[in-house]
């Protein structure tokens, strides 16, 4: 009997210990579950990130250059409508809502200043091809437009076109020997127009005209005027490879003495030699 009682006591103690271990495990599990629930609930309670709303700026279509347009070039076929911020549109810009036919209306106009691709077109920078003041509008500051008669023989057979560069040659006959002397008096002068055409027609490779209008400084214009009275002027077409070389002006200085100690200096071009 005493042995049986001892065994029953052991069993009771073992059951008590097992129950205690279960309680501890349950408590740990409950604590872990509570912590996880807290973390999840805390994450859900965080404020959501505010969505950034980007507002599209109000735009309107304005007339711009579709490609680069040079000084004196016709703008027809080189314009297009392009969206432009309303806040950046000034009164001088051409709006499609106000002038839907502006591209056609301005097609025959000439650029009096260069445009770069994408630049808004302002009517103040354009001039009508047939309008007054066209030549004055395309002349650079300080330059003059001076005309000289030409023919197929003196104008490179008609192959000289507007915007080409030419050398001006003076030919004159010596009164005593009847020998003809020729000399270049101006180098690399730009041709502004042949007759009244400041630009060749599309595909045109030659222009037979009677007058060439050249771009010149005031001094060069005076030289051409004198040369026209002294002989025959011819234009020699320059290659595109050297057309942009700086113009070379040939000049000489002469001194005229009047009495003792009195002298005057003059600039003399080749056209006054031999006088």
Of 128, 53, 115, nearest to 82 by C-alpha is 115
> For residue 244, what pLDDT is reported?
56
DSSP-derived secondary structure for the chain: -HHHHHHHHHHHHHHHHHHHHHHHHHHHHHHHHHHHHHHHHHHHTSPPPPPP-PPPPPEEEEEEESS-B-TT-B-TTSEEEEEEEGGG--TTB-BTTT-TTHHHHTTTEEESS-B-TTPBPBGGGEEETTSTTHHHHHSPTT-EEEEEE--TTTTGGGT--TT-EEEEEEEEE-TTT--EEEEEEEEEEEEEEETTBSSPPTT------SEEEEEE-HHHHHHHHHHHHHSEEEEEEPPTTTTTSPP-B--EEEEEE-SSS-EEEEEE-GGGTT-
pLDDT score, position 49: 63
> What are 113-159's pLDDT values in tens digits?
889 999 999 988 888 766 556 777 777 778 899 988 887 766 666 67
Nearest to 216 by CA among 164, 144, 162: 144
The confidence score (pLDDT) of residue 220 equals 92
Contact 250, 169 (CB under 8 A): no
Listed in sequence order, the residues at least 6 apart from 115 whose beta carbon sits closer than 8 Å to its beta carbon are 65, 68, 69, 75, 121, 125
pLDDT the model gives residue 263:
46
Return the pLDDT at 257.
47
Right CATH number for 59-136 from 3.30.1280.10, 3.75.10.10, 3.40.470.10, 3.90.1210.10?
3.90.1210.10
Residues of the chain with pLDDT under 50: 1, 249-250, 253-258, 260-266, 271, 273-275
Count of C-beta atoms within a 10 Å radius of residue 269: 21
149: nearest Cα among 190, 197, 181, 194 = 194
* 131 vs 110: CA distance, rounded Å: 10
Residues belonging to the chain:
275
The confidence score (pLDDT) of residue 118 equals 92
């Amino acid at each position: 009997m005493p042995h049986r009682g001892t065994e029953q006591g052991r069993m009771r103690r073992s059951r008590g210990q097992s129950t205690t271990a279960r309680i501890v495990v349950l408590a740990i599990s409950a604590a872990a579950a509570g912590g996880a629930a807290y973390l999840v609930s805390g994450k859900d309670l965080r404020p959501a990130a505010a969505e950034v709303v980007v507002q599209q700026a109000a735009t309107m279509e304005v007339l711009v250059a579709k490609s680069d347009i040079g000084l004196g070039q016709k703008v027809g076929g080189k314009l297009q409508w392009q969206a432009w911020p309303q806040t950046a549109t000034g009164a001088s810009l051409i709006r499609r809502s106000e002038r839907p036919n502006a591209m056609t209306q301005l097609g025959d106009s000439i650029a009096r200043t260069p445009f770069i691709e994408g630049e808004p077109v302002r009517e103040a920078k354009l001039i009508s091809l047939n309008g007054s003041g066209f030549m004055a509008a395309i002349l650079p500051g300080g330059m003059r437009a001076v005309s000289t008669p030409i023919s197929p023989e003196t104008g490179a057979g008609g192959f000289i076109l507007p915007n080409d560069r030419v050398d001006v040659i003076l030919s004159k006959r010596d009164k005593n020997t009847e020998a003809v002397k020729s000399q270049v008096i101006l180098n690399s002068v730009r041709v502004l127009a042949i007759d009244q055409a400041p630009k060749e027609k599309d595909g045109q490779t030659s222009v037979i005209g009677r007058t060439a209008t050249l771009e010149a400084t005031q001094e060069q214009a005076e030289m051409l005027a004198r040369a026209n009275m002294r002989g025959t002027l011819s234009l020699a077409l320059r290659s595109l490879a050297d057309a942009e070389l700086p113009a070379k002006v040939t000049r000489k200085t002469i001194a005229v003495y009047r009495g003792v100690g009195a002298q005057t200096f003059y600039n003399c071009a080749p056209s006054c030699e031999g006088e």
